[in-house]
Amino acid sequence: MGKNNIMNTYARFDVIFEKGFGSKVWDIEGKEYIDFVSGVAVNCLGHSHKAITKALSEQSENLIHISNLYWNTNQFKLAKKLVDLSDHDQVFFCNSGTEAVETGLKLARKYGKMKNNNKNTILYMKNSFHGRTLGALAVTGQEKYQKDFLPLMEGFDSVNFNDIEDLEKKINENTCAVIIEPIQGEGGIIKAEKAFLQKARELCNKFDALLIFDEVQCGIGRVGTLFAYQSFGVIPDVICMAKGLGGGFPIGAVIAKKKAAIAFVPGDHGCTFGGSPLACAVSLAVLEELVDKGIINKVNEKSKYFVDKLEELKCKYDVIESIQGIGLMLGIKVKKEPKNIVNKCFEKGLLLVGAGKDVVRILPPLNVLEEEIDKAVTILEEVLDNN
């Protein structure tokens, strides 16, 4: 089947999927699965949503790629929509979360350089994850992702997550940015404390540094607001996005306040495929479903329904330590390695994924049905009964 021709970068499950619709996928043998991984928070509308397939079909017959040497109408429309829905002013389009983070880091370095040549240090959080390129690795606070790629880029320093005292100690006049995930995804579904984010905003203002939120996983409706920052009441200068922004089609973006965005001038940064007519058409369709048609408005209601059922499991099974996360970015913290639970659920037709060392991560589509949540909980209970 050509498996040996693919680089060995993932410990994949022994399954080949060929079809998906809504919250369900089917493998080549016809077995049905409930997909609560959603492409790792990508398929916000589930699989093969009609709005996405329609946008792909219609736009691909008109114009797929033109390059950023020229303007295209869909890029105008998507940029305006993102700006209108946020507290920000300008957008840069790319293809992935890692690219969005790289853009944010470059923007921060250029912003600092405009102030003085020594203003180039970027602070990041321990236990964070920002991507796998060398720049993103330098701000990823987990040694397991970094150790085989040393030496890393210089000019970065780590801060204990949610530790105001440590942040106050590390930030100074040479800091050009602080990058934070409002909810640490790969690190274990750990939510930032509002007071910590407020202090980060205050200190960035004091030292004229950019506050960057990495919303690649927690953004685009995942926590019940279009942008995660809106759930915390703290406005960053720069937001890195991807995953759900395209609902399954590759697109990334960085939105920024004008004071940050003006640091870039022609030649500073670019992206060959970023903001193509096709990618933007799909993203516009996704945002119409999420925002204009109100899917986001029901996320917290569905979250409460789901969390209530998970809390019932917690009361019944000692292996569950806590239920964490917000919206439909949830985690079950367990007292043992989560891999066994994830594998057993997979065998029974429920796709989940681990996070950190002790969390089972749950990322259903944002339009998930209550009966699908019920079925997932039933499978989880069957697994916990025998675990």
Is 222 flagged in the annotation as binding?
no
Distance separating alpha carbons of residues 89 and 295, to the nearest angstrom: 25
Is 237 flagged in the annotation as binding?
no
Is 267 flagged in the annotation as binding?
no
Asked if 263 contacts 107 with a C-beta cutoff of 8 angstroms, the reply is yes
Taken in order 178, 180, 186, 191, is the CA torsion positive or negative?
positive
Full 3-state SS string of 281-320: HHHHHHHHHHHHCCCHHHHHHHHHHHHHHHHHHHHHCCCE
Closest CA to 204 of 230, 178, 174, 243: 178
Distance separating alpha carbons of residues 227 and 238, to the nearest angstrom: 12
Torsion of CA 53, 329, 223, 107, to 10 degrees: -80
Only one residue has tokens 């397939």, namely 53
Is 97 flagged in the annotation as binding?
yes
Count Cβ neighbours within 10 Å for each residue of 166-200 and write b for 16 or more, e otherwise.
bbeebbeebbbbbbbbbbbbbbbbbbbeeebbebb
**Three-class DSSP category at 208:** coil
Is 217 flagged in the annotation as binding?
yes
Is 215 flagged in the annotation as binding?
yes
**Three-class DSSP category at 251:** coil
Is 140 flagged in the annotation as binding?
no
Phi-psi category of residue 303: left, alpha or beta, with phi > 0 → left and psi -120 to 50 → alpha: alpha
Asked if 43 contacts 247 with a C-beta cutoff of 8 angstroms, the reply is yes
Residue type, 6: I
Give binding residues as ranges.
97-98, 129, 132, 214-217, 272
For the annotated binding site for pyridoxal 5'-phosphate, the residues are: 97-98, 129, 214-217, 272
> Which residues line the annotated binding site for N(2)-acetyl-L-ornithine?
132
